[in-house]
Each structure stands twice: as structure tokens, then as C-alpha cells.
Copies of this chain bind each other. A is one copy, B any other.
Amino acid sequence: MDETTREREEGSQFLPRFDENGLIACITCEASSGHVLMLAFMNEEALRLSLATGIVHYWSRSRRQLWRKGDTSGQVQTIVEIRTDCDQDALLIAVNVGGDGKACHTGRTSCFYRRLVLADGAQSLVIDPT
């Protein structure tokens, strides 16, 4: 293993790796339960603001803008813990959710409210909140 890989995987330096679009994937989970709430992306500015304020900021790929989650909904995500993975190209953030405690714009607690069902070669989604 070369020195760079060792430092990235085992070191104490936080060296987040942004992809060719300047983004890093971020899994957000509920601190109390560990339930996965959503997946979104941060750019360097969103990560900087998240660390500086303790409130999660994302980069919206569809709207192409910085996005302080909860600004309109009140579902502000307060950071409890941030983890990074072996190659530091993903983040796992545990949060407390403000407002009504939900994370999804459809009104569900988690964005992952549908389960894929495979039957007789056909695929369908079933609404089945976690």
C-alpha cells in the first residue's frame, strides 16, 4: 500500500474526495435510530458550511444550487456525527431533524419509502415506509 493510500484509509487527516463534478455523496441517517433518511450530495462549499454551522447543507444537482435543508420546510438537520469511509469519497451523517421530524419532501420520514418487489419476472414498487 502506498503512503497516500495508507494516509487516506488509516490516517487522522480528513481528506474528502470530491468527484469530477466536485461532489461527494452523503448518506444522512437519524441519530436516534440509525435509520437512513436520504442520500444527497455536497460540494466543497456545502461541506464547509455544514461544518461551520452544524446544520446540514447540500448541493442540489437538479436545481444546481446550494441548499440548506429545512429552509422552507423547517426540517432542519442538526449534525450529531459525521463519518467518512475508507477512501473518503462518501460521508455518513447522523442528524436530529427539526420541524415535523421528516426528511422527505413527499411528507415521509425517510425518502426510501418504496420497496422493490420482483414477482414472475416483473418489477414493481410498493409503498412501505421504514
What sequence of 0s and 1s flags, for each residue 76-92 of chain A, a beta carbon within 8 Å of any chain B beta carbon?
00000111111100101
Residues 98-130 of A, flagged 1 when their CB comes within 8 A of B and 0 if not, give: 000000111010011111101000011111001
Count identical subunits in the complex: 2
A12 within 8 A of B: yes
Bin the interface of chain A by size: 35 or more
Instruction: Take A36-B36, A39-B27, A92-B36 as given contacts and tell me if A13 and B84 are in contact as well, using a CB distance cutoff of 8 Å.
Output: no
Closest to A11 in B: B125
Q: A9-B106, A10-B106 are in contact. Are A113 and B90 (CB under 8 A)?
A: no
Give A81 Cβ to nearest chain B Cβ, in Å.
6
